[in-house]
Amino acid sequence: MNVFSGVLDTEMVIGLAKGGVFHLLSSLCAPLYVPSAVTQEVMSGGPGRAGVSELQQALGVWITEVTPDPQVVAQFSAPRSLADRAVLAVAQEQAPLDFVLSGDKQLCQIATAGGFTCLQAADVVVLLKAVGLLPEVKSVLDRMQHLGYGISADRYEQALRAADEWPAP
């Protein structure tokens, strides 16, 4: 049922892991890429951090880790981290690519200016429901928030409205 192709950033790996739905990307995305700099950022949190075991289990199975050309990475100077620049470079190198999966506003602005579409974690959760991989969105978003993944009140409401779960009981 693979619906789209994409590239993941660190925030997305952690957020979807906190929501307990990271593994569902395997049914939604093909191909799905993660830059090696993102893998290093996720793994630097240690064994107990959200996203570490999920990403370890997915690498080489349904997620392809790639190291972008350093010259392509160097084209992107505005994002704060090497991982962010690597996400943009992978998106460019793997084009045509459907989505950059990130909630980082600066990264998404640059990606959008470059012709890519960004999906935030809440968007991915709504998409998972839309294709029948989740029965509902609210509990996933609530779990993400409870575990410290920031979703603004506006974004939360937008996601529930998009999933036909608004107003929330």
- In this prediction, residues 138-155 reach a mean pLDDT of 94
Q: Where are the domains of the chain?
A: 4-162
- In this prediction, residues 90-118 reach a mean pLDDT of 92
- Report the Cα–Cα distance between both ends of the chain, in Å, rounded: 31
What pLDDT does residue 18 have?
Answer: 96
> Is domain 4-162 in CATH 3.40.50.1010, yes or no?
yes
User: Is 62's pLDDT higher than 70?
Assistant: yes
What gap in Å lies between CA 27 and CA 2, rounded to an integer? 6
